[in-house]
Amino acid sequence: MRVVAAMSGGVDSAVAASRMVEAGHDVVGVHLALSQSAATLRESARGCCTIEDAGDARRVADRIGIPFYVWDMATRFREDVVDDFVAEYAAGRTPNPCLRCNERIKFAALLDKAVALGFDAVATGHYAQIVERPDGTRELHRAVDSAKDQSYVLGVLDAQQLARSFFPLGDTTKPDIRREAQERGFYVASKPDSHDICFIADGDTRGWLESRLGEQPGDVVDEHGDVVGRHSGSYGFTVGQRRGLGIARERQDGQPRYVTGVDAATNTVTIGTADLLGVDRIRGDHARWCGPAPAGRVRVGAQVRAHGEELPATAWADGDDVHVELDERLRGVAPGQSVVLYEGTRVVGSATIAEATLAR
């Protein structure tokens, strides 16, 4: 099988590419240039897609003896991921750019280009597993290493994309991957993982957004609508946030306050006590199914954060919408996040959270 191995320059994609070669596939390494102004060197362990990363990926490709190319997808990445990220925050929502990147770049733009060039599939260093059923259809499952499991950010893949995807690391723990990379003589064996948002290298999301959206002063109000503080832009807040609220300590009455709502239309941030954060009803749109959509109401596990807790729930599809009834309350659920549904270790599908409420 002819396979494009997406090589970020990190240890995971390096081992994934080498495993695909050893499995007998005809592999070509591809590094995605996603930044229009790639830095020469990495800034700590944050970020990716630097010139250094491309060089690291090329060295691995040379060592395992496969062709290597850099594909420029910076414009597509800016439009489909970065601009979307800014627009979502400006609208008062909290997006997950990793899901958007997987949906629109790695398993859409990259996969489409690979297929157009005559390749059969794409392999990545994600920690997840593909299970092939007797009828030939494929299922997406959690990785063996629960601490590194990335099935949540892959919950946007549909059956056609899964049919052309390989995740060679899903059956291995991260320490074992690093040992394997060391044994293979890869320079990147001890390279730190990138984390947080790749295009915000210093991790200051609020500052990054402010540089693009400008200061937009507004009110911070309590659950009664009384003004208790001021902010420089509602886009800098997300439901469940506790730090950086800009309110006087004496206003808290000894109890911590959290963001309970962000209204972009009025540029207002609402705060309240922890008991006001709990929800047990979620409605999501932009449904994506990793196979057939569920028929009727089904029991699932629901997860709303990449490394969050999975909670038992009942879910059903309604056109492009997904409704989820949680068995217990969950705090800090923000519009714009994704809810990913599981049946055991199998990923059923996902949706973007449109609203989260508490049943009365």
- Cα–Cα distance between 27 and 279 in angstroms, integer? 47
Active-site residue flag, 48: no
Annotated active-site residue in 48, 49, 198, 290: 198
Q: What is Dmax (Cα atoms) for the chain?
A: 66
Cβ contacts of 291 within 8 Å, gap of 6 or more: 137, 139, 159, 348, 349
CA 309 to chain centre: 15
* CA quadruple 10, 102, 28, 136: dihedral, nearest 10: 120
User: CB neighbours (10 Å) of residue 278?
Assistant: 15
- Residue 296: partners with Cβ closer than 8 Å, 6 or more residues away: 316
Task: List the catalytic residue out of 49, 98, 101, 290.
Answer: 101
Question: What is d(CA 114, CA 117) in angstroms, rounded to the nearest whole number?
Answer: 5
The type of residue at 261 is: G
Give one DSSP letter per residue of 73-98, joined into a string. Answer: -HHHHIIIIIHHHHHHHHTT----HH
Burial 197-215 (b: 16+ CB within 10 A, else e): bbbbbeeebbebbbeebee
Find out whether 124 and 14 touch, Cβ atoms under 8 Å.
Answer: no
DSSP 176-223: HHHHHHHHTT-GGGGPPPPBS-TT-TT--HHHHHHHHH----EEEE-T
Catalytic annotation on 101?
yes
Of 290, 301, 299, 279, whose CA–CA distance to 350 is shortest? Answer: 290
* Residue 146: Cβ within 10 Å count: 11
Active-site amino acid positions: 101, 198
